[in-house]
Amino acid sequence: MLNKNAAKKIISAFLSLMTIAVMTAGCQKSNEEQNNEELLIGFSQIGSESAWRIGNTKDIEEQAQNYGVDLMLENANQKQENQIAAIRRFIAYKVDVIAFSPIVEDGWDNVLTEAKDAGIPVILVDRDISTDKEDLTTCLIGADFYKEGVMAGEYLIRKADALGLDHVNIVEITGTENSTPMRQRQAGFADAIANDDRMTILESIDGDFLTSRGAECMRYLLETYGDDIDVVYSHNDEMTLGALPEIEKAGFAPGKDIIIISIDGGQEAIDVLKEGKINCVVECTPKLGKELMETAIKLKAGEQVDPLIHPIEQVFSDEMNPEDIAPRGY
């Protein structure tokens, strides 16, 4: 039998051990958080041209918080020179990782060479660059835009079959000239319809991913081609949403008289798809923040990263029950 004092000592020793264990666990957790907090990412966003872009910025901010990563975020207001200046500030600030969504593909060699010379790894988010130089960037986290164009073209072939069309006149409203989504969505779509003799692209016109430009382009296309237009293929939801009222003003019913194909899948476009005024929306997800944080953490730890990370994307269309589409969250 233990006397009262011995029992007290044992209980007190046990409690002390428990306290130490709990404190150690606490320290380990805060060390992990601290590790990520010590990671500083400088991120240059293109601008706020679309619901997609605003959703992308929000997702990156939220995921930085989730992962305990410090984020210096700069909005370039659609100007490449602002992005270049932001990257130079990130270099001067000695951030751990630079990430950016290049508005266009060309013109990055000098500033990225400066980042490389400073030993700061660079992650491309959403869009790619075009360069002859090696090792300016570590990886690209973004959609497979070529596949999106292919999925849009394949939908159109199925739709033309279903309607029994023997000729299909298409107008294309493209995204920002010389940007990756513009180039690849155009190429993927063109390749997908290339062997179908029914398809003719009447004109491709630059809508710069903007609602106002989508409306302007559509007015011009309606004035030029009138009721010859069977299909509008638009490279993003904003331009599509700008084009639709113009089609209605000209006396046509979008989704019925003219087949409407869009890309992105923001909630507003999905709601219009449910109304029957858009026939197909190819998804492009803005949710790239998680992959960005995980990749930056690996780079800081000196680990290898995948050179190319594409999210999985789908097609929303009048071939499915649109009520089955879950809320998009942006």
- Which residue's CB is nearer to ligand AHR, number 53 or number 213? 53
Residues that bind ligand AHR (CB under 6 A): 49-50, 52-53, 126-127, 181, 209, 236, 263-264, 284
Interhelix angle 237-249/267-275, nearest 10 degrees: 40
CB of 17 to ligand AHR, least distance (A): 55
Six-digit token string for 74: 């700069």
CB of 264 to ligand AHR, least distance (A): 5
CB of 146 to ligand AHR, least distance (A): 13
187 three-class SS: helix
List, as one string, the DSSP characters of 211-222: HHHHHHHHHHHH
Task: Indicate left, alpha or beta for 281 from its phi (over 0: left) and psi (-120 to 50: alpha).
Answer: beta
Instruction: Evaluate whether 87 touches 98 at the Cβ level (below 8 Å).
Output: yes
Report the side by side order of strands in the sheet with 259-264. Answer: 199-206, 168-174, 231-234, 259-264, 280-283, 315-317
First-to-final CA distance of the chain: 68
CB of 52 to ligand AHR, least distance (A): 4
- Which residue's CB is nearer to ligand AHR, number 68 or number 311? 311
CB of 59 to ligand AHR, least distance (A): 13
- Which residue's CB is nearer to ligand AHR, number 230 or number 237? 237
- Which residue's CB is nearer to ligand AHR, number 50 or number 317? 50
- Which residue's CB is nearer to ligand AHR, number 96 or number 283? 283
